[in-house]
Structure 1
Amino acid sequence: MNQTTIANVSSSQATRAALQQARIAIVSANWHSDVVHQARDAAVRRLTALGAAPARLHQVEVPGAFEIPLMAQKLAASGQFDAVIGCAVIVNGGIYHHEFVSAAVVDGLMRVQLDTGVPVFSVALTPHNFQPTEDLLGFFRCHFVHKGEEAADACAQTLAAHADIDALLTQAVAA
């Protein structure tokens, strides 16, 4: 994911203009919601700070990470959203289940954006040796705030880039 600072993103008039009209869905898993919602809430705060209208940011919850790609596909295919962000924590519980789930989620999200043309961003993370102790939960909560901000920055920049390319392609057709 593109790791930028808010200063770099907010300096762009194109970014602000793209976000003002954009409808963005944020799909978050309820599994470990105390951690996952940190990313969701941070993404909302950052998108709003960058110029997105709060009423155009829509939050959807699903049970776990595995359910995110299908919901992202439904939202993207509706034609009502300009971008989708998926947020989840996929726990390494000592068996290899997390590897299959992680791959399925990321592959599914990539397929959604390629099939629909709607940008999709992932904050579906698999922390190494996740343990639900208070110290580690505190660390992961802070980490997910940072990742939510990064997803918002990438979303904003991508929407601006798409707007620029759409304008370029429209000019090319008119010429």
Structure 2
Amino acid sequence: MATLLKNLSDFSQTEIPSAAPYKFGIVVAEWNAEITNALYQGAYNSLIANGASAENIETYPVPGSFELTAGAELLLKYKNFDAIICLGCVIQGETRHFDFICDAVANGVSNVSIKHSKPVIFGVLTTDNQQQALDRAGGKHGNKGDEAAITAIKMADLAKTLQG
């Protein structure tokens, strides 16, 4: 459903399992920091509100959205997490750079998830302008960070359920 018709932070139509048993890694792009910091606060607060303990949430900054994939890969290689949340923001500019970065990050996040059989969540805004990003990072359309955190909880719980 188009964001225009949906608040990213409305989870009233879904059941959210407790985040208490899970350990989460959050990889946050430093580029577009005003936006990514807001996404981070949304994700962190949603994890805590749904039962995660602060000691089970580890945060790692990376320079930009392109590096989210490598960050997620390193966390899953060297640490033990139930889910990784990747948070970034890519805003359309005057060149095709936007297309290459968005495509690389989306595919990279998916590939890391498949490689490790662990949820790696794509919490990356890909907007036409700064205002659209602000609207989706705690503005009138909610916070994509909230959505990423809830997705991480639900996917970690699914993995646990399937593992028995």
Which TM-score applies when normalising by structure 2? Answer: 0.86
1:8 aligns with 2:5: no
Question: Is 1:141 aligned to 2:158, yes or no?
Answer: no
Find out whether 1:82 has 2:100 as its counterpart. Answer: no
> Deviation above 6 Å: which 4+ runs of structure 1?
none
Q: How many residues get paired? A: 156
Deviation of 1:21 (Å): 2.5
Percent of pairs identical after alignment?
A: 24
Contact 2:137 2:145 in 1 (8 A): no
> Which structure shows the higher helix fraction?
1
State the superposition RMSD in angstroms.
2.2
Q: Residue type of the partner of 1:141?
A: A
Determine helix, strand or coil for the equivalent of 1:44: helix
Inter-CA distance 160–136: structure 2 relative to 1 (3 Å threshold): closer
Give the structure 1 partner of residue 111 of structure 2: 111
Question: Residue 70 of structure 1 corresponds to which residue in structure 2?
Answer: 70
Aligned in 2, Cα 1:71/1:136: closer, same or farther, shift over 3 Å?
Answer: closer
Secondary structure of 1:80 counterpart: coil
How far apart, CA to CA, are the structure 1 residues paired with 2:89 and 2:160?
Answer: 31
- Asked which structure has the greater CA Rg, the reply is 1
| Residue pair 1:38, 1:141 contacting (<8 A) in 2 also | yes
* Bigger strand fraction: 2
Q: Which runs of 5+ in 1 are unaligned?
A: 168-175
Q: 1:149 and 1:73 mapped to 2: Cα distance?
A: 22
